[in-house]
Structure 1
Amino acid sequence: MPKINFINSNKQIEVPEDASILRMSLRYDGELPNRCGGGICGSCVFKAEEGAEFLDNVKVQERRKLGEEWLNKGYRLGCQTFVTDGDISISWDDEVTEVVKKRKPDKLQKEVSTIK
């Protein structure tokens, strides 16, 4: 079973595959900040310090709230992110959290079909 290392709270927990980062933090007192649980507020933003390859694909809500800039820096939303089949280490920063919380969601470009 994979492990999540919550660097800020100095806790490491073993979790089932495909477990939600936020749910596991809430269940085992990982202390990841949170508020809405739906990818709207940005409170649960974290940085994958190790094991990012063991996280599932970025969700639409993460892409909207974080934008490519934050995603490219390794940030994800705990409420939208799941551990796949390996160990990860995550951290969070109050200053980053405040910036993300204030960020307005990006409008996603709709794909234009040229098929007639």
Structure 2
Amino acid sequence: MIQITFLSNGGKTVDAQPNSNLLRVSLREQGGIPFKCGGGLCGTCKCKVEQGRENTDDIKQKERRHLSADELAAGYRMACQTFVNGNVSVSW
């Protein structure tokens, strides 16, 4: 199991399976990441991976449409497009 910490939700920490989608875990565990579509179309689920960026998968093309190169370099991701394979802490 891996741990995901939702910093903007009082530091709530939950367990998840490796290769879990960040938004789906947030929905299931009431992590609180905001969203509207869940499919990479709206950009609402933008969040920042504060710790554990190395435990996320590669940036998707849909993310590049909503996030600038500076945002991506700073650790911002779209939760609906991000899969985690190790412990991460996220804020939004």
Matches within 5 A, 1:17-56: 17-56=18-57
Distance in 2, matches of 1:55 and 1:4, equals 11
Matches within 5 A, 1:16-95: 16-84=17-85, 86-92=86-92
Distance in 2, matches of 1:69 and 1:61, equals 16
Q: TM-score, normalised by structure 1?
A: 0.76
Larger radius of gyration: 1
Greater relative contact order (Cα < 8 A, sep 6+): 2
Deviates more, 1:60-69 or 1:26-35: 60-69
Gaps of 5+ in 1: 93-116
Distance in 1, matches of 2:36 and 2:64, equals 18
- Match for 1:55: what amino acid? T
Give a deviation string over 1:36-87, Cα, whole Å, max 9, x none: 1111111110001100000000011001211312111110000000001x21
Equivalent residue number for residue 101 of structure 1: none
Gaps of 5+ in 2: none
Equivalent residue number for residue 13 of structure 1: 14
Aligned length: 91
Q: TM-score, normalised by structure 2?
A: 0.95
Distance in 2, matches of 1:12 and 1:62, equals 25
Runs ≥4 in structure 1, deviation > 2 angstroms?
A: none
Which of the pair is proportionally richer in strand? Answer: 2
